[in-house]
């Protein structure tokens, strides 16, 4: 008989068959169980690792952002100072106009910062507490305030108006007022630690001036709420005996982009010329933010090791599947499945574990981060960590990096057991006991 020869070539199994086999190998042999126990272990390892990474990096980002917000609320972006023993600046009006000519500068104002001690008497006892006293100009428009808290003072949120007693007004940080037992309307004696003179008897005597407390403020940052006080610029000049010369400590400025403070400071230095020097909020807090950034990197690296440990769970899971299914692999290869197709089956298994673990871990990590931040679940000592609760801020770039890294590690972990399975010889595999 004549005719075309029969085509003995079998059709290659599709990717759908490889995925079907991968799901079967991941599943438990017992009915009613979706996945095997060792698969759950590998899946749990990836989930825990991804969850820990997202939560911890979110906490570190939250700490940085919260501290930065609190610092910028009370600290000018740049400050212009005049070198000298007393750090006093006279004739500052032309310099203020010159600094305001820079396009990046949105507001400029004079300020005074001095170290003081406040005296409190109660029940015949007297005690003192150190504090930083800021003198702020009340002649500005609120839009021209260099810091948020000065803007609130100018808008009347915190009152520095004339008092009924005639004494100059002062507002205190809420924690400082609480520690000293000071309330609105109390008279506060402020001792200057800079304006110290020698009396006729040869003894040193500091300048003391009475203020009336007109309110308290809360920034949310412990260091500021326990140390800072604000009073009118003229009253602080009077305390330091520099009002006649209209001297100040320096000029503070707000710029359009706080992160551009270093570059703007350089241009300001060239614009105003010597002998003045320009400081920035970044320089003043560089040690704090550098430490937080280093801690974030270190914790990220350490916690990423959890994902790598989870990858070893994936390796062990797939190796056990290869050993357990050796005979079945031999049968499949004898039926026409190629090495590449067997390799694909086990790659699908590892990627399924990595994908599910990463998805579960990302979801759980974002949920925990939202709960901790929204409800302020974790309270921390403010005198140690500057903040009274643990803030969380999830960075999409960090989450994306974690997802990609986790998937890559899961893919790499599948290569060895997948190669081992694809290299099995059909006859030897079928004979495997």
For 101-146, the pLDDT digits (tens) are: 999 999 999 999 999 999 987 666 778 899 999 999 999 999 999 9
Range 207-216 average pLDDT: 93
The answer to which of 84-93, 107-116, 168-177, 370-379 has the lowest mean pLDDT is 84-93
Give the pLDDT score at 157: 93
Give the pLDDT score at 432: 62
Asked if the model's pLDDT at residue 12 lies above 60, the reply is: no
Asked if the model's pLDDT at residue 426 lies above 70, the reply is: yes
Ramachandran class of 336: left when φ > 0, alpha when ψ lies in -120 to 50, beta otherwise = left
Percent of residues, the chain, with pLDDT higher than 90? 50
209 closest CA partner among 188, 229, 230: 188
Give Cβ neighbours of residue 408 (< 8 Å, ≥ 6 apart).
Answer: none
Range 322-331 average pLDDT: 83
- HSE-CB of 174 using CA atoms within 13 angstroms: 7
Give Cβ neighbours of residue 343 (< 8 Å, ≥ 6 apart).
Answer: 418, 419, 421, 422
Range 3-27 average pLDDT: 63
How far is CA 72 from its chain centroid?
A: 14
Asked if the model's pLDDT at residue 13 lies above 50, the reply is: no
Range 287-314 average pLDDT: 84
Give the pLDDT score at 310: 82
Q: State whether residue 145 is helix, strand or coil.
A: coil
Give the pLDDT score at 107: 96
Give the pLDDT score at 212: 95
Percent of residues, the chain, with pLDDT higher than 70? 92
Question: How confident is the prediction for the chain on average, in pLDDT?
Answer: 87
In 233-325, which ranges are continuous DSSP H helix? 233-240, 261-272, 281-284, 286-324
Q: For residue 260, what pLDDT band results from cuts at 50, 70 and 90?
A: very high
Q: For residue 33, what pLDDT band results from cuts at 50, 70 and 90?
A: low
Q: Which residue has the higher pLDDT, 123 or 176?
A: 176
């Amino acid at each position: 008989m004549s005719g075309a020869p029969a085509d003995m070539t079998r059709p290659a199994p599709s990717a759908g068959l490889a995925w079907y086999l991968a799901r079967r190998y991941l599943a438990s042999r017992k009915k009613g169980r979706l996945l095997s126990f060792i698969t759950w272990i590998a899946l749990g390892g990836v989930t825990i690792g991804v969850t820990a990474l997202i939560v911890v990096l979110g906490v570190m980002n939250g700490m940085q952002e919260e501290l930065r917000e609190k610092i910028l609320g009370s600290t000018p972006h740049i400050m212009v100072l005049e070198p000298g023993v007393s750090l006093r600046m006279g004739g500052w009006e032309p310099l203020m106009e010159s600094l305001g000519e820079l396009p990046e500068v949105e507001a400029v104002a004079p300020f005074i910062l001095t170290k003081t001690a406040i005296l409190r008497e109660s029940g015949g006892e007297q005690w003192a507490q150190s504090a930083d006293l800021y003198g702020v100009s009340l002649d500005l428009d609120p839009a021209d305030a260099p810091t948020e808290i000065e803007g609130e003072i100018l808008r009347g949120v915190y009152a520095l108006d004339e008092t009924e007693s005639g004494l100059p007004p002062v507002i205190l940080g809420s924690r400082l007022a609480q520690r000293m037992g000071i309330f609105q309307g109390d008279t506060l004696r402020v001792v200057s630690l800079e304006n110290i003179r020698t009396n006729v008897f040869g003894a040193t005597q500091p300048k003391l001036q009475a203020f009336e407390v007109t309110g308290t403020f809360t920034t949310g940052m412990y260091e500021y709420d326990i140390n800072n006080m604000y009073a009118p610029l003229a009253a602080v000049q009077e305390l330091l005996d520099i009002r006649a010369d209209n001297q100040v400590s320096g000029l503070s400025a707000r710029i359009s982009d706080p992160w551009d403070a270093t570059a703007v400071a350089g241009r300001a230095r060239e614009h105003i010329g010597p002998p003045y020097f320009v400081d920035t909020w970044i320089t003043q807090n560089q040690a704090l933010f550098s430490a937080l950034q280093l801690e974030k990197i270190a914790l990220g690296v350490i916690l990423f090791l959890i994902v790598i440990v989870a990858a070893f769970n994936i390796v062990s899971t797939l190796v056990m599947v290869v050993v357990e299914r050796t005979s079945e692999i031999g049968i499949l290869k004898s039926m026409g499945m190629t090495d590449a197709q067997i390799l694909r089956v086990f790659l699908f298994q590892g990627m399924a574990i990595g994908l599910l673990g990463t998805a579960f871990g990302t979801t759980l990590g974002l949920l925990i981060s939202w709960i901790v931040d929204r409800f302020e679940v974790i309270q921390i000592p403010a005198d140690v960590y500057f903040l009274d609760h643990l803030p969380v801020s999830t960075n999409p770039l960090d989450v994306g990096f974690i997802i990609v890294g986790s998937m890559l590690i899961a893919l790499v972990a599948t290569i060895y057991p997948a190669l081992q399975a694809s290299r099995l010889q059909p006859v030897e595999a079928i004979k495997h006991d």
